[in-house]
Amino acid sequence: MCLNEYYTDGKLMGAKRTGKKPARFEHWKKIAIVIGIYDVVAVSVSYFLALLLRFDFRYSMIEVKYLEAWQRFALIYAAACLIVFALCGLYKSIWRFAGFNEFVRTLVVSLFMSAIHVAATLLFYCRMPISYYMIGAVLQCIFLLAIRFSYKAALFFFNSGGKKNKDRIMLIGAGAAGQMILRDINTGKSSGRVVCIIDDNSNKWNRYIDGILVAGGRESILDCVEKYRVNKIFIALPSATMAQRRDILSICNETDCEIKNLPGMYQFFSGQLTASALKEVSIEDLLGRDPIKPDLEEVFAFINGKTVMVTGGGGSIGSELCRQIAGHSPKRLIIFDIYENNAYDIQLELKEKHPDLDLVVLIGSVRDSRRMDQVFADYRPEIVYHAAAHKHVPLMEDSPCEAIKNNAIGTYKTAYAAMMHGCERFVLISTDKAVNPTNIMGASKRLCEMVIQSFDAKIKAGRADEIPALYLHKGSDGGFASQEKPSANCHTEFVAVRFGNVLGSNGSVVPVFKRQIARGGPVTVTHPDIIRYFMTVPEAVSLVMLAGTYAHGGEIFVLDMGSPVKIDTLARNLIRLSGLKPDEDIKIEYTGLRPGEKLYEEKLMAEEGLKTTDNKLIHIGCPIAFDTDRFLTDLGELIDVSYRNDPDIRLYVERMVPTYHPTYNGQRILPDPVVKEEEKSEETSAAQPLPVG
């Protein structure tokens, strides 16, 4: 770089540092000056032409007094018009988007100045012919409107005449939002044009909006796509329910068109509704239910000013919990995770968004009782959201002992540390896979729920001192430095939250499908009839946080997630949303159910029953009674079984969780010592007692 270049760059960098921007004359001001000059000429010429018309375009026939009056008043009137027009904002409109409001404002201001013209000539000059006033007023309106709407008209004719080979758009929705989108397409630089409109209001059928036919209701979509050769569909239905959107999207997905959707009412009410505001249709739009929107004010009031800890805070659910908690003034937020990369990412994000937040990020494992005791002793969290867990079903089927160590035993140790150090609320994040589990991951999460129920039952009975400290460390302290046994006065409230699959989470099937589509397929579905309940990350987090507020101890909160979604349908919709055809452009392969996988998931065991809350979509399951003393004893023995990596661990879990019925779907898991052992002697395995640690 030469010295001059360096000096120039230095000046520019200096300007950036001082915050000064180089002076620039905006383009719209240049346009305003041009229109202003035009207006001066137009208002003067309008009344001169009125004189000529009055005297049959014979200049020599115009009476001298009229000509002199016009000459003396023309410049004064033009200057007055310029001032009034500026005060009324006629030079600040964006004329490419001009509409009825701009038309009316220009017309009213023009007529007002015409009235001023009449009054001024009568008072200060001479009485002009009536036709002069009338013709002059009309011409003035025409000239003023012509310059302001000529650009819009030119764009309209260009779009309608010069884009015949470009995108042909079907607009769904003939309401105010649809009309705004249509106007933006007609006046903008879009490469397409609207060729037909669809609306379910039969009163609008076979009528026109800006020259575009309202061709019919949703039942006409497929016919109109073929008739008008549509290749894009814009859906402008901001007030439609999720069920209504789903029905329309299901029809649109049968076409090969690219589909875009108006996200919601915000852009409509904020006046930001343009074609560019439309977004690609997401798979969430096809779930067929309205999003859960609970009132979180009491949740945030509960969090305000308290120390909150999130285990597994770097995961998809945990990180969203941290985001929502951070925005509502906790005294301190503690993020605890074993994976440092995720923890670091959420740490950077929260520090940037909330620089005043007292944020502590700790690395460690919930399986380490001494580490958990140290964290709770040092920071004394008042609320704990326990999201740390192994969640991938096939992986846990191959490593069942790890599922028990991390999920069941890790939850126990974390809950025990919370109880020992006076935590107020402990919220376990569970899953619908804990209901009648057929895989070890679901069974481990059911064990977590039983841990929570056991702790709650003991505390409510005033027998918290009977809860044993389960650990593997040598020494009498058991890794808990504060005291050897819990106090009988413990007051921690333990609850669980159970929900289905989370769209957008690390374990969601949707990202897998998207990667497979991007590679050109095939998309792999385990079974054509497999169904799942789905919810979004914000919905899941809202429910988890509500549990911390509704809790009285021992509850299992359950979300009514609406109708389940067929995974095969989900995959096909994703392929269509990518502009491709299932089974033609992208093949779908059925791979068979994976080990431990069910065709359907249940939200609640039938014997639990349901109680409602203030939110009709959130329910409370009544806990199933079980022998907590026997459970705690068996859990202590299960630690020994899991840490010696016993190949028969599924048998021990099956005895502790009566609703757990492991299945292998006719597939051999290699290596899978459990199957091998069962093949040797099913009766012997069933009779084997729990080992004594």
**Tokens at residue 593, please?**
């159910």
SS3 of residue 336 by DSSP: strand
Tell me the β-bridge partners of 561. none
433 has catalytic annotation: yes
| CA atoms within 13 A of residue 250's CA, in its CB half-sphere | 12
CA distance 654 to 661: 7
Query: Can you say whether residue 596 is alpha, beta or left, with left for phi > 0 and alpha for psi between -120 and 50 degrees?
Result: left
For 307, phi and psi rounded to 5 degrees? -85, 120
Q: CA 479 to CA 482: how far, in whole Å?
A: 9
529-566 burial: b if 16+ Cβ within 10 Å, else e: ebbbbbbbbbbbbbbbbbbbbbbebbbbbbbebbebbb
Q: How far is CA 632 from CA 307, 436, 444, 568, 635, in A?
A: 29, 21, 15, 42, 5
Query: What span, in angstroms and rounded, lies between the C-alpha atoms of 349 and 81?
Result: 55
Of the candidates 337, 365, 331, 361, the residue with the CA atom closest to the CA atom of residue 349: 361
Residue/partner pairs of 50-54 with CB below 8 Å, 24 or more apart: 50/131, 50/132, 50/133, 50/134, 50/135, 50/136, 50/139, 51/132, 53/131, 53/135, 54/129, 54/131, 54/132, 54/135
What are 1's strand-pairing partners? Answer: none
C-alpha 453/C-alpha 284 separation (Å) is 34
The dihedral of CA 341, 343, 347, 350: what is its sign? positive
Q: Is the dihedral of CA 148, 152, 155, 160 positive or negative?
A: negative
User: What are the angstrom distances between the C-alpha of 619 and each of 125, 451, 456, 616?
Assistant: 84, 21, 19, 7
Distance CA 11, CA 17 (A): 10
Specify the pairing of strand 618-621 against strand 610-612. Answer: antiparallel
172 strand-pairing partners: 198, 235
Question: What dihedral angle (degrees, nearest 10) is formed by the CA atoms of 685, 687, 692, 693?
Answer: 20
Identified catalytic residue from 433, 445, 458, 603: 433
Selection from 338, 491, 368 nearest residue 425 by Cα? 491
Phi-psi region of 554 (alpha: psi -120 to 50; beta: other; left: phi over 0): left
Query: Which residue from 269, 273, 228, 575 is spatially nearest to 261, judged by alpha carbons?
Result: 273
β-sheet bridge partners, residue 275:
none
Please name the residue that has the structure tokens 């904002």. Answer: 89
- Cα 323 from Cα 346, distance rounded (Å): 8
Between CA 66 and CA 102 the distance in angstroms is 34
Residue 425 has phi, psi (to 5 degrees) of -135, 140
User: Would you mind telling me the total number of residues written for the chain in this entry?
Assistant: 693
Annotated active-site positions, please?
Answer: 433
